[in-house]
Amino acid sequence: MVVEQLIGNLVQGLVLGAIYGMATMGLSLIFGVLKVVNVGHGAFIMVGAFIALWMFNALGVVPIFAIPVALVVGLGLGFLFYYSAIRKLLEGPELASLLATFSMGVLLEEVAKLIFGSEFRGYNWAVGKLDLGVTVLPMTKLYACLGSIVVAVLLYIWFNKTRAGSAMRSVVEDSAGARVCGVNVGGVYALSFALGIGLTVVSGVLLTMFIPVGINPYMGGGYTLKAFVIAVLGGLASPYGAFFGGVVFGLLENGSYTLFALIPGVEPFALTRFFSFVMLLVILLMRPTGLLRAK
């Protein structure tokens, strides 16, 4: 019984980990290209969650069709914040860009509170379930996992098969050399920041497909913490490493919950969080550069 429950939780963790990885790719992309740490990361996830919620409840549009809308909104926010603040701070102290992204997050949270209120919200998109024997997986979670994988594959193709992707990789390798070769480094920075924010907003839609409740303006704090740990685990400047780091984190989080639930008198969820971060610390001590090097 315990083994079956453990396997079932690992399956759930694998699905959730893919979404965690997708939610961290934007953070790693921005740091990899611009060397900017986006501490307002969770607020952009919140924006995606509210887009899915609003389109489902107000317009009757299923969350999977909210993904392109979230991408457009995220790209728009990314370009807006880049040209209004980030561009002017790239040559300044690192603390300046850190405070700027923190301010962006606070601004988004307060705007969302003004529009939607501070109460917790959710939606119910029932499209059936998939019985795997060891666990029952709602199709919404499966769609979210598949969506995360599709986005990650498309990003890989874009990076390696397009001129814009090649330009971005050249800037990561040597921005001065890329500028000499005719690459518009400023444009690459803007596109990288906007794409990173766009991916983050899209991940908010996917997260609600896995956990469609608890949507509120301040929901992003926990996801920001997880995203930083996952990004460091996978290699902070590697979007692909972030994806695989998310899968590892999801497996650790869900798998350990089953084991801690067997211990009487303890809160398994609290111990799960503790165990996940301890394991990540151990992995980083053995491999400080993360699972994958920056690319």
| Collapsed DSSP state (helix, strand, coil) of residue 83 | helix
Asked, for residue 162, whether it belongs to a domain, the answer is: yes
Asked, for residue 291, whether it belongs to a domain, the answer is: no
Query: Euclidean distance between the first and final Cα of the chain, in Å?
Result: 43
What's the confidence (pLDDT) of residue 103? 94
Percent of the chain surpassing pLDDT 70: 97
Given a cut of 80, whether residue 277 has pLDDT beyond it is no
Given a cut of 80, whether residue 37 has pLDDT beyond it is yes
Average pLDDT across the chain, whole number: 87
Asked, for residue 31, whether it belongs to a domain, the answer is: yes
Per the CB < 8 A criterion, the answer to whether 55 and 212 are in contact is no
What's the confidence (pLDDT) of residue 1? 66
What's the confidence (pLDDT) of residue 295? 47
Instruction: Count CB neighbours of 180 within 10 A.
Output: 9
Q: Give the integer Cα–Cα distance in Å for 26 and 231.
A: 10
> pLDDT (tens digit, 9 = 90+) per residue, 255-267?
777 777 778 777 7
How many independent structural domains does the chain possess?
A: 1
Per the CB < 8 A criterion, the answer to whether 202 and 66 are in contact is no
What's the CA angle centered on 207, arms 11 and 2, to 5 degrees? 25
State which amino acid sits at residue 284: L
Query: Which tokens sit at 268?
Result: 């398994």
Asked, for residue 93, whether it belongs to a domain, the answer is: yes
Helical residues (DSSP H) of the chain, grouped into ranges: 2-34, 41-59, 67-81, 87-89, 94-116, 139-161, 163-173, 175-180, 185-210, 220-234, 239-260, 268-286
Asked, for residue 293, whether it belongs to a domain, the answer is: no
> pLDDT (tens digit, 9 = 90+) per residue, 58-112?
899 999 999 999 999 999 999 999 999 999 888 878 788 889 999 999 999 999 9
Write the DSSP assignment of 234-269 as a string of letters.
Answer: H-TT-HHHHHHHHHHHHHHHHHHHHHHTTSTTS-HH
Q: Give the integer Cα–Cα distance in Å for 1 and 292.
A: 36
| Collapsed DSSP state (helix, strand, coil) of residue 121 | strand
CATH number at residue 15: 1.10.3470
pLDDT band at residue 9, thresholds of 50, 70 and 90? confident
Query: Which tokens sit at 2?
Result: 């315990």
Which residues neighbour 69 within 8 Å (Cβ) at sequence distance 6 or greater? 51, 55
Please give the model's pTM, rounded to 2 decimal places. Answer: 0.90
What Rg value do the Cα atoms of the chain yield, rounded? 19
Q: Give the integer Cα–Cα distance in Å for 251 and 42.
A: 21
Boundaries of domain holding 43: 2-286
What's the CA angle centered on 45, arms 31 and 289, to 5 degrees? 30
Asked, for residue 292, whether it belongs to a domain, the answer is: no
Asked, for residue 45, whether it belongs to a domain, the answer is: yes
